[in-house]
Amino acid sequence: MGKHSNNNKHISKESGGLLALLDSTSHHIPAESAPQEKLRLGVDCDYDKELRRLQVELVKFQEWVRYRGLRVVALFEGRDAAGKGGTIKRITESLNPRVCRVVALTAPTEREKTQWYFQRYVAHLPAAGEIVLFDRSWYNRAGVERVMGFCSEAEYFEFLHSCPQFERMLARAGIILNKYWFSVSDEEQERRFQQRIKDPTKRWKLSPMDLESRRQWVEYSRAKDEMFAHTDIKQIPWYVVNADNKKSARLNVIRHLLSTVPYEDLTPEPMKLPPLDRRKYVRPPMTDQTFVPEFYG
């Protein structure tokens, strides 16, 4: 509660910042005046303006999580090139990395393979006042591990049985858990794969596993449906994101994430900077320092 304990004058009278956000019509742009970048999201809006507005709300959300000592987790799952990484980037780019962090684990080590399956994920769960976004999560077992044969039948069925119990245990411990599945059509995924091949800055995103997934499209579909059948529980459901339109998907997920915690505005009031120290001080000669070459200066 710390530094905010005497700061209630900054708290909005409206309970739940998102309630006011959703009720507001200030972001509506009439069709005849909207720019070409507008999106159809139930209302016409300018993507950049709406993203900026939602990112301001995310900062309020972050401060409320920190102030109340909440623990928030969001899982981002879906097919390759479905837009998970882009959405995570838009969520985090305005947030404090000490409060909101991304977990994207590599393949398990030989030692980790001998641990309780959920063990290496538990180590990354949030403490009080933290938000953790999993870029792929323990659901690897129900997806890529199942399809590619990286786990046994017994391990797979044990996961389907124990995963709902594990997540209910997290909920009982007070962790706010959201699970997002990014759904993309095979045509759109193919288009994005081709874009990545053509762009040298994105080619690293295509791993041999991603390419193999093209040949396993039906098997991945079966695995996803089986996973939902066992883990789409009422207490902690899966939220499916229509991700064929990347920009719409990003805005929709951010709006939904904001709606999961009724938060209030703890934005500090503008502060006055103290006067700059202008005392005389003779600094060492600049020739003693090594500078980056000003190639673009």
The residue extents of the domains of the chain are: 71-250
Nearest CA to 250 among 45, 70, 108, 60? 45
Distance CA 297, CA 294 (A): 5
Nearest CA to 139 among 123, 154, 124, 117? 117
DSSP assignment letter at 236: S
The arithmetic mean of pLDDT across residues 229-250, rounded, is: 97
Distance CA 183, CA 79 (A): 7
Distance CA 54, CA 80 (A): 26
Distance CA 101, CA 93 (A): 11
Q: What is the pLDDT of residue 4?
A: 44
Q: What is the pLDDT of residue 99?
A: 98
Distance CA 168, CA 234 (A): 10
Contact 12, 265 (CB under 8 A): yes
In tens, the pLDDT along 153-212 reads 999 999 999 999 999 999 999 999 999 999 999 898 889 888 888 989 888 877 777 777
Q: What is 71-250's CATH superfamily? A: P-loop containing nucleotide triphosphate hydrolases (3.40.50.300)
For residue 295, with 0-12 CB atoms within 10 Å meaning exposed, 13-18 middle and 19 or more buried, which class applies? exposed
Residue 70 or 269, more confident: 70
Tokens standing for 118?
Answer: 């959920």
pLDDT of residue 2 exceeding 50: no
The arithmetic mean of pLDDT across residues 61-69, rounded, is: 98
**Residue 43: pLDDT band with limits 50, 70, 90:** low
The mean predicted confidence, pLDDT, of the chain is 86
Distance CA 7, CA 3 (A): 8
Nearest CA to 55 among 251, 293, 283? 251
**Residue 22: pLDDT band with limits 50, 70, 90:** very low
**Residue 96: pLDDT band with limits 50, 70, 90:** very high
The arithmetic mean of pLDDT across residues 239-251, rounded, is: 96
Contacts of residue 118, Cβ cutoff 8 Å, sequence gap at least 6: 138, 162, 166
Q: What is the pLDDT of residue 280?
A: 87
Q: How many helices (H) and strands (E) does the chain have?
A: 10, 7
Contact 213, 220 (CB under 8 A): yes
Distance CA 143, CA 233 (A): 18
